[in-house]
Amino acid sequence: MPIMRLGHVQLRVPNWEASVDYYKNVLGLIETARDEKHVYLKAWDEYDHHSVILEKADSAGLEHLAFKVRYKEDLDMYEQKLQDYGVVTERIAAGTRIAEGEAVRFQLPTKQYVELYHEIEQIGNGLPRENPAPWPDGLKGMAPPRLDHLLISGEDVEGTTKLMMEVFDFCMAERAMMDEENVLATWLFVTNTPHDLAIIKGPDAGVHHIGFYLDNWNDVLKAADIIGKNNVPLDKGPVRHGITRGTTIYFFDPSGNRNEVYANGYITYPDFPTITWTAEKVGEGISFFDKDAGERFTTVFS
Ligand SMILES: [Fe+2]
């Protein structure tokens, strides 16, 4: 699989100072660089220079998401595959993003921009490569070890799902139905998690949440305490998902972008048979204990 992982997301944050402080000290990412309009951050156990870029902006939302590909030649290969599929592509020059090489950029049928890149500076995870301790000192807040996935929204869920599966060899772990025929949402993977990218019916170019990984359910409960201590707007949780079997909690950054910290979930392989959630059981799929996702969870996007 030439796509190695969801490499980074670039988020628009209108409430600039408070958002930068929140991502560093409450969520607990590490700042690695900044320029006038951007702050670059990484989760502690990632080796690459950044996985989240905050952009000073007038409105919240997702500027783009980006996948890291295995080899530099994969950029040419995917550029050709996208053009053959009928998608317009452009090249983003090396150095446009700090510490990052050239990228291929295109737009999904659900209107989000996606970039593919290979080159990025590796700065390490704060631990030696010989005889490392299990975690470094000085972590703050929830301190997720890594970015995990995101849920994007748009009208053409089927179109984005098909493109990701046909051009990039994503597999479908799960889908939720609106009725017998129409799909509400899909959960797609290219690594071995239940989802690297999920897509749900909603506003075009929208993002429902950005998900960060935690090691276990206790860490999700500790994240709930951190949410309480810092008066972070809580959305939903702590709960278990029926979908993916993850344990999770959702909350909002100071700019109104929804974040999730998530643990567990099953392992997938390319031969994983797709799970379907019927329309009347979607509430249970999202929130297994109380079977109710809640109105805010299903209606608020950024
Ligand atoms: Fe999620």
Cβ atoms of 42 and 93 closer than 8 Å: no
Cβ atoms of 56 and 16 closer than 8 Å: yes
Average the pLDDT over 70-80 and give the result: 98
Q: Which residue numbers are catalytic?
A: 149, 195, 209, 241, 250, 260
> How far apart are the CA of 130 and the centre of ligand 1, in A?
34
Quick one: pLDDT at residue 88? 98
> How far apart are the CA of 211 and the centre of ligand 1, in A?
5
> How far apart are the CA of 286 and the centre of ligand 1, in A?
10
For 102, how many CA atoms within 13 A lie in the half-sphere containing its CB?
11
| Percent over 70 (pLDDT), the chain | 100
> How far apart are the CA of 186 and the centre of ligand 1, in A?
12
> How far apart are the CA of 249 and the centre of ligand 1, in A?
9
Quick one: pLDDT at residue 232? 98
Average the pLDDT over 282-302 and give the result: 91
* Angstrom distance (rounded) from CA 269 to CA 209: 24
Quick one: pLDDT at residue 298? 87
Question: Is residue 1 predicted with pLDDT exceeding 90?
Answer: no
Quick one: pLDDT at residue 293? 86
- pLDDT tens readout for residues 139-157: 999 999 999 999 999 999 9
Average the pLDDT over 48-58 and give the result: 98
- pLDDT tens readout for residues 14-36: 999 999 999 999 999 999 999 99
> How far apart are the CA of 209 and the centre of ligand 1, in A?
7
* Angstrom distance (rounded) from CA 239 to CA 49: 32
- pLDDT tens readout for residues 158-210: 999 999 999 999 999 999 999 999 999 999 999 999 999 999 999 999 999 99
In the numeric block, the tokens 């320029």 are attached to 35
- pLDDT tens readout for residues 94-124: 999 999 999 999 999 999 999 999 999 999 9
* Angstrom distance (rounded) from CA 40 to CA 100: 11
Quick one: pLDDT at residue 53? 98
Quick one: pLDDT at residue 255? 98
What residue ranges define each of the domains in the chain, with the CATH number in brackets?
3-117 (3.10.180.10), 146-299 (3.10.180.10)
Quick one: pLDDT at residue 95? 95
E strand segments, 143-215: 146-154, 171-177, 183-189, 197-201, 206-213
> How far apart are the CA of 59 and the centre of ligand 1, in A?
22
> How far apart are the CA of 76 and the centre of ligand 1, in A?
31
Quick one: pLDDT at residue 47? 98
